Amino acid sequence: MVEDRAYLISRVFSSSRLSESKWPYMFPEAEDSSDSKLTSGGKRAALDELQDDDLRQSKSLRLMGLSEIHGNVSSDEEQQDQEQESDSNNGNNNDGDSLINDIGRDNSISCLIRCSRSGYGSIASLNRSFRSLVKSGEIYRLRRQNQIVEHWVYFSCQLLEWVAFNPVERRWMSLPTMPSGGTFMCTDKESLAVGTDLLVLGKDDYSSHVIYRYSLLNNSWSSGMRMNSPRCLFGSASLGEIAIFAGGCDSRGKTSDSAEIYNSELQTWTTLPKMNKPRKMCSGVFMDGKFYVIGGIGGKDSKVLTCGEEFDLETKKWTEIPEMSPPRSREMPAAAEAPPLVAVVKNQLYAADHADMEVRKYDKERKKWFTLGRLPERADSVNGWGLAFRACGERLIVIGGPKSSGGGYIELNSWIPRSDQSPPQWTLLDRKHSSNFVYNCAVMGC
């Protein structure tokens, strides 16, 4: 019975047209006019479909004993709070903590954590108990405990503008515009998603390291907690609610061997033991429960580092791993090339070779790299800059766009690696009009 209700709730909210935290959905413009639905007949059909969905949703909610969802979340929340308070004062409180009264709180949560997170904005509008479950982040913690994770891609092709892409429903969403000073807006920025936070790090006033934090829970930006040792050009990766930042340059431009761990739920930074080698312009991944920093530039002569380092979270020790960085197919100045384009799917390490347009995989037993196949055709970059290569759950995602301003669009391609080492078969998820390539990209799994 509980599974049936979980399916029903999932169907109700996945069909909802209300976007998470009232974000408007953005659908890319059709490249072919024959595919466009923006004709007068298309508009009428879309409107009729929306009205039919609203009627079906309202009926389904009444069948479950839930309140009907209206259009404006904020006004609904105020109205529902007043009604709930009035019912309580009149002695009509129907056990609000149980969420779905007929099946109890525990079974309700078991159903809700299986819903797509794109429906959580609608769920939060039902009443105070549902809203608290979503806005407090409790529902995301419970999802993580039950190993229910949904991955969305966040990226920026404009200075202060970010969009999110849901690869399952293939929907686009706009984030609020970032707050920023003039210097931060125009300088290089780095990003990482951890827990329900998106962190964007950069410099303000050309010397001061700053962090802006976007919270999925309230759909807003705020100033993030500063690192113990602020840095840029670091290697980083996240695992659940924690993230590790290693190496980079300090405010004086000195290459660092320090590392820190960030807890997104507590919003705290903790200093870790120093690495064996200082390095900058490196990359980071989590694999087999351990953190790896890969490649980069280090030493007195600022040479390319081919080694990596493994950090064991239990023993708190760093171990150097020779030749872990993907081989470079072209010789160029060390600082001209982007940090290694690496990603981990199912505890397997992959790399994108931007020069030869190939995908490589790391053999953990032999400690060697081998070529699997080709990158998507539209994976343009400038020495690796502007090309996003990320793990997104069980997929590898490649986001490529125009090499220079004035280009047409960027493409999102995905491939689910197989254990038989077969060549990549890329699927075009979507494309988006853009005059710039990808400045920053992160994947949030929650």
Most confident stretch, 9-23, 129-143, 378-392: 129-143
Residues 306-312 have a mean pLDDT of 97
- Give how far Cα 404 sits from Cα of 93, 115, 353, Å: 61, 40, 20
Does position 92 have pLDDT exceeding 50, yes or no?
no
- What's the pLDDT at 241? 95
Residues 201-221 have a mean pLDDT of 88
- What's the pLDDT at 406? 54
Segment (H or E) for 215: strand 208-215
Residues in the chain: 446
Q: Are 199 and 210 in contact (CB under 8 A)?
A: no
Does position 53 have pLDDT exceeding 70, yes or no?
no
Cα 106 to Cα 432: distance, rounded to the nearest angstrom? 41
Residue 241: other Cβ atoms inside 10 A: 19
Q: Which of 31-45, 104-118, 427-441 has the lowest mean pLDDT?
A: 31-45
Domain 151-445 is in which class?
mainly beta
Does position 86 have pLDDT exceeding 50, yes or no?
no
- What's the pLDDT at 180? 78
For residue range 391-409, what is the model confidence (pLDDT) as tens digits?
Answer: 999 999 999 876 555 568 8
Cα 46 to Cα 299: distance, rounded to the nearest angstrom? 61
Does position 8 have pLDDT exceeding 60, yes or no?
no
What is the pTM for the complete model shown? 0.80
Does position 336 have pLDDT exceeding 50, yes or no?
yes
Q: How confident is the model at residue 85 (pLDDT cuts 50, 70, 90)?
A: very low
Of residues 428 and 55, the one with the higher pLDDT is 428
111-126 in b/e form (b: 16+ CB < 10 A) is: bbbebebbbbbbbbbb
DSSP 340: P
- What's the pLDDT at 328? 82
For 241, the token pair is: 């609610």
- What's the pLDDT at 99? 84
- What's the pLDDT at 404? 55
Of residues 34 and 114, the one with the higher pLDDT is 114
Does position 301 have pLDDT exceeding 90, yes or no?
no
Q: Which of 197-206, 261-270, 357-366 has the lowest mean pLDDT?
A: 197-206
Most confident stretch, 231-240, 380-389, 395-404: 231-240
Residues 131-139 have a mean pLDDT of 93
Could you tell me the residue ranges of all domains in the chain? 2-145, 151-445
Residues 418-445 have a mean pLDDT of 91
For residue range 196-207, what is the model confidence (pLDDT) as tens digits?
Answer: 999 999 988 766
